[in-house]
Structure 1
Amino acid sequence: MAQVKIYGSVQSRAARALWCARECGIEFEHLGTDSKALKADPEFARINPNGKVPAMVDGDVTLFESMAINLYLAHKYGKSLWPTTIGDEARTYQWSFWGMTEVEKPLLTIVIDTFMTPADKKNPKAVEDAKTALQSPLSVLNQALKGKSYLLGDTFTIADLNLAAIMAWAKLVKLDMTGNSDVANWLDRCLSRPAFRGK
């Protein structure tokens, strides 16, 4: 039986942890694809008292929050994913947290309105506001990727995985990347990896 257990459906932020585990090449057990059942499970409440996914168990280590899970897995198991200098470690944290604070909320606003909101409750202004809000971070990211294949240089790392896992929603909603071709090309490189596609 696999020591690492990852809880949450592939339609949730657990997809990020599943991608990371596949990149690390580890055996893992994917559990709890039914979020409602998990919330009612007292065993799961001991793993994540917030009652949300993803969550992870690795022996006596339990974690929640997708970025924390991924940083842990990459550091412990993903030798090629983990940066080799302390400066790049700091940049890994920077880009992981930046994705959560600058990119995730506006992208999620568009995803929810596009795919989960009934036609009579859609909010085109909120979507346009979210698209406008994304222009500045996209420009920042585009500039950071100039002359590089990946965030830390020529090698795909956990920094790329964590940010690309958020930015994947941009593909889902067909976000216009005009003027940000370095971002578009980087995202294509990241999302073309077999481990992202579940292989």
Structure 2
Amino acid sequence: MLTIYGCYRSRASRPLWLLGEIGLPFHHVPVVQAYRPAAAEAAVTTRSPEFLAINPLGQIPAMTDGDLVLTESLAICQHIARAHGGALGPQTLAEAALIDQWALFAATAVEGPALNILFADAATAEGAAQIAVEAERLSRPFARLEGHLAGRDWLLDRFTVADVMAAECLRYAQGHAPLMQAHPAIADWLARCQARPAFQAMWAARLAEPA
């Protein structure tokens, strides 16, 4: 059986959401980041020997599916969608390329600045300045995505793993209201993604975990 290692308050949210969309039975090992206070109560952390045997980097998520071991969240999502996802995965070589494109776009053009926005303290002058810098860094990728989403509901012609991967990266910047207000197509797309029952179930599990 496919096994996911990681907690909901991590990038494991991506494959866990996807698995909820698919309805695939899987085993979940709730590995917690060793730096978090919750690690004191966790059975397995990112520094536990049994987890380091799976991923020597000590990062989550990780996945095993038979003999296959993967340790990058987007690669995990790609594998799950291709092996088990039906219409959530690519149906043609062209679709596979497009899904790859949006995964790489989200990881390279969006995730870094979006995370910096998430962790900046907007109540301080320094934090507000950092948010302004990161929002400017996102202006071109957001313009690209806004144009693509104009007149369409999803990144491809239906909801796919590409939407899961990209939406979870963009979520980090979602709290910066000016950025969302300037990009209504992105805001509407995120709302559609996050209204899905599988996302709602993942998010409820995330909120139930210790912060």
What is the TM-score normalised by the length of structure 2?
0.84
**What corresponds to 2:86 in structure 1?**
79
Q: Distance in 2 between matches of 1:106 and 1:5?
A: 31
**Structure 1 residue 122, shift from structure 2 partner:** 5.2
**Structure 1 residue 26, shift from structure 2 partner:** 0.7
Aligned residues: 193
Give the counterpart of 1:4 among 2, 17, 25: 2
Change (3 A) 1:129 1:121: closer
**What corresponds to 2:65 in structure 1?**
58
Between 19-28 and 33-42, report the one with greater CA deviation: 33-42
Higher relative contact order (CA 8 A, sep 6+): 2
**What corresponds to 2:188 in structure 1?**
185
**What corresponds to 1:124 in structure 2?**
128
**Structure 1 residue 20, shift from structure 2 partner:** 1.1
Q: Which runs of 5+ in 2 are unaligned?
A: 35-43, 203-211
**What corresponds to 1:197 in structure 2?**
200
Residue deviations 1:134-188 (CA, integer Å, cap 9, x gap): 11111000111122111112x1011111101111223344453233211111111
Q: Distance in 1 between matches of 2:125 and 2:32?
A: 26
Residue deviations 1:58-80 (CA, integer Å, cap 9, x gap): 22211111100000001111102
When the two chains are superposed, the root-mean-square deviation of aligned CA atoms in Å is: 1.9
Change (3 A) 1:190 1:120: closer
Q: Give the match's secondary structure for 1:6.
A: strand
Q: Would you identify which runs of 4 or more consecutive aligned residues in structure 1 move more than 6 Å?
A: none
Partner amino acid, structure 2, of 1:79: G
**Structure 1 residue 90, shift from structure 2 partner:** 0.3
What is the TM-score normalised by the length of structure 1?
0.89
Q: Percent identity?
A: 36
Partner amino acid, structure 2, of 1:52: Q
